[in-house]
Amino acid sequence: MYIRTLTRKNKNGSIVKYYQLAHNERNPRTKKPVPRIIHNFGRADGIDRNAMIRLCRSIARICDLEIVDKQEASTARKPLNISGKIPESIETVSDAGYRQELTVLKDKINSLRESEKKFKTFFENANDEIVYVDTEGKIVEVNEATRDIFGWTREETIGKHFNELGLFNPENANLLTENFKHSFKNIPIQITEIEVLRKDGTPAFIEVNAKIIEIDGEVKGILNIVRDITKRKQAENSLTKHRDNLEELVTVRTQNLKDTNTALKILLKKREEDKSETEENMLLNVKELVLPFLEEMKTGRLDDRQKALADILEYNLNNIISPFVRELSSRYLALTPTEIRIANFIKQGKTTKEIAGILKMSSRTIDNHRYSIRKKFGINNKRANLATYLMSLK
C-alpha cells in the first residue's frame, strides 16, 4: 500500500497533482502489477492537511514510528524511528490507545477490501458493458462484457480514445464527440441509440446511457452503460417491414375492391337499362302489335268458344305485361292501344292522311287521337311538335 501521485495538465497549461491511497494487484492475464485505488485524497492544493497528519500518526503508532510536523514545530508522542518495524499483531503494541486505533484501521481496511471484492464481482459480471472514460475521452476502465458485445478485450481498449477503435462511422463518431463535449457544459446527456461495427466488422446496435462522474466537485470523467440492442432493432425493422408490406397490400386490395365495385355498378346500371328497355319494348309491342288486332278480332263474328278463347288470351296478355306496366312511365301507359299505334306512326313521320289510310279511319278520328295523345303527355297547350316530342321519349 502506498500514496500514489497523479499529474494532469490543464488546457491552460497548469499542472495539477492528485494524491491517492493505492496498492498493487497482479493482473491474472498479463501478470503485471495493476494499481487499485483504495481512497482518493483529491487535489494536492486542496488536500485536508490535518486529516493527512492524523492518518500519518495512526500509521506511525502501528509501526512504532515517530513523526515530526515541521510547520507546527511539534512532535508526535513517540520519537521517530525510521528503522522501526510494523508490529506482527495488535497484542504486540504496548499502548492500549494504539491497539484500539489499529483495530479500527484494520476493520476499515478489511471493509474496503470486501467492498472492492463485491464491486469487482458486480462490475465484471454485469450483462451490459461498463465503460469509464476520462475528460479527454480516453478509456480508463471496462468490464468483460466488452468482449461479448464488441469482440475487444479489456487490454485492447484501455488507454485508447473511444474513437480509435473504429466502432463508429464518421457521422456517429461526430455525434458522440458532440455529446461528449456537451456533457462537460452541464447539458444533460440523452440516452443514445447508435449503430456500431464490431471487431470482426459485423454491424450492431447499442444503447448508451452516460453519467458524469464528479469527485470533490470536479468532473473526473463519464461512466457509460452500453447495452446491446441488436436483436431488438432487428425485430423492430422486421415489424416495420411487415407493417409496410401489409399497408401496401391493403392499399392494393382496397383499390382492387374499388375497381371491382365500379365495374359492378356499371354492369348493374347497364343491366337495369337493358331490363327497362326490354320491358318497355315488350309492353309496347304487345299493346301495339297484339292487343289492337285482338280487340278488332273480338268485334268480328265469333262463336261463343272463339270469344271465350279471345277473352282468355287478352286476360293472359294483360297478366304478362302487368309487372312491366308498374315500372314504365305513367304517361306512356296512359295511351290506348290505338293511340300507341298512331303515336308510333307519328314518330315515323307519317301524316294524318297516311295514318288514316293505314288504319282505315277518318282523318278526323286520327286528329282526335292526336289531340288525346298531346293531352296525355301534357303538351296540348304548347307549341311543341308531336313527332319531335315522341322521338325524344325512350
**Strands (E) located in the chain:** 2-9, 15-26, 33-43, 68-69, 74-75, 129-134, 139-142, 192-197, 203-215, 218-228
- How many residues does the structure list for the chain? 394
Query: How many beta carbons lie within 10 A of that of residue 65, not counting itself?
Result: 20
Q: Tell me, what's the pLDDT at 362?
A: 92
Mention every residue, 6+ apart, whose C-beta is less than 8 A from residue 233.
Answer: 193, 205
Q: What is the pLDDT along the chain (394 residues), one digit of tens a residue?
A: 788 888 888 888 888 888 888 888 888 888 788 888 888 888 888 888 778 888 888 888 888 777 766 665 444 444 433 344 445 555 555 556 666 777 888 888 888 888 888 877 877 777 788 888 888 888 888 888 888 888 888 888 888 887 777 777 766 666 666 666 665 555 556 677 888 888 888 888 888 888 888 888 788 888 888 888 889 888 988 999 999 999 999 999 999 999 999 999 999 988 888 877 777 777 777 777 787 788 888 888 888 888 888 888 877 877 776 654 444 444 555 778 788 778 888 888 889 998 898 888 999 999 999 999 888 888 888 888 888 888 776 5
The confidence score (pLDDT) of residue 80 equals: 35
Alpha carbon distance 143, 316 (integer Å): 102
- Please name every residue paired with 75 in a beta bridge, in sequence order, or none if there are none: 68
pTM: 0.38
CB 132 within 8 A of CB 159: no
